[in-house]
Amino acid sequence: MSISVQGGIDQGALRQRLISLLGAERDLVRDFIALLGQERETLSHADMEPLFALSERKGQVVRQLDQLSTARIALLAQAGLPHDREGIQKLLGDAGAPTWNEFLAAAEQARNINLENGRIITERMKNNHQALAVLMAHADQPTTYGRDGMSRTRPGSRILGSV
Q: What is the pLDDT along the chain (163 residues), one digit of tens a residue?
A: 444 545 567 899 999 999 999 999 999 999 999 999 999 999 988 888 999 999 999 999 999 999 999 999 999 999 999 999 999 999 999 999 999 999 999 999 999 999 999 999 999 889 888 888 877 776 665 556 667 776 665 554 555 555 5
| Predicted local distance difference test score (pLDDT) of residue 160 | 56
Is 69 inside any structural domain? yes
- pLDDT for 5: 44
Closest CA to 103 of 127, 73, 69: 69
The total number of structural domains that make up the chain: 1
Q: Is residue 92 part of a domain?
A: yes
Residue 149 maps to a domain = no
pLDDT of residue 137: 75
What does each C-alpha distance from 158 to 24, 137, 141 come to in angstroms?
A: 64, 17, 12
Q: Are 110 and 116 in contact (CB under 8 A)?
A: no
Q: Does any domain span residue 87?
A: yes
Number of other residues whose CB lies within 10 A of the CB of residue 75:
19
152 is a domain residue: no
What does the pLDDT read at residue 46? 85
Residue 127 included in any domain: no
Helical pair 50-78 and 11-43, crossing angle rounded to 10 deg? 160
Residue 147, pLDDT score: 73
What CATH number is attached to the domain comprising 107?
A: 1.20.58.300
**Host domain of residue 50:** 9-115
Q: Has residue 134 been placed in a domain?
A: no
The model carries a pTM of 0.75
Is there a domain that residue 137 lies in?
no
pLDDT number for residue 133: 81
- The per-residue pLDDT for 3 is 44
Q: Which of 81, 99, 84 is nearest to 16 (CA)?
A: 99
The shares of helix, strand and coil residues in the chain, as percent rounded to the nearest 5, are: 70, 5, 30
